[in-house]
């Protein structure tokens, strides 16, 4: 397991910590509003299985009931861009309106994924 991203950013006074680990043929993505992280929602995103055809990625909410929408969006986006399975652990302890945090988190994830794919 190799740590390839360890960053944080702030939405108002809300700090989000993001860690991305490269595993064998897959990735582990940890997102939390706590420095010590946590499990929270567990979502698996898998890329298209048909090579050459633009079929959608799939996600499976394995555990957790909160923040399902944001978990699904992030897992599917990450697995599509990285073209590998991505296991997402999203732990948002502080309750904040999902509508206000979803766009900044997804935009930040997009920036990170763009940097990673450009480095390859």
Residue 41 domain boundaries: 2-119
Quick: pLDDT tens for 107-116: 888 898 888 8
pLDDT tens for each residue of 39-90: 888 888 888 776 665 545 666 666 566 667 888 888 888 988 888 899 999 9
9 class by beta-carbon count within 10 Å (0-12 exposed, 13-18 middle, 19+ buried): middle
pLDDT value at residue 81 = 86
pLDDT at 56: 59
The pLDDT of residue 26: 94
CATH number, residue 81: 3.30.230.90
Domain count along the chain: 1
Are the C-beta atoms of 78 and 86 separated by less than 8 Å? yes
Q: What is the model's pTM?
A: 0.84
């Amino acid at each position: 397991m190799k740590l390839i991203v360890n960053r944080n950013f702030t939405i108002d006074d809300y700090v989000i910590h993001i860690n991305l680990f490269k595993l064998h043929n897959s990735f582990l993505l940890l997102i939390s509003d706590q420095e010590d992280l946590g499990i929270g929602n567990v979502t698996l995103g898998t890329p298209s299985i048909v090579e050459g055809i633009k079929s959608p990625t799939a996600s499976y909410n394995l555990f957790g009931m909160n923040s399902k929408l944001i978990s699904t969006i992030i897992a599917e986006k990450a697995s599509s861009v990285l073209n590998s399975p991505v296991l997402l652990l999203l732990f948002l302890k502080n309750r904040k309106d999902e509508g206000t945090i979803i766009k900044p988190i997804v935009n930040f994830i997009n920036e990170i994924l763009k940097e990673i794919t450009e480095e390859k």
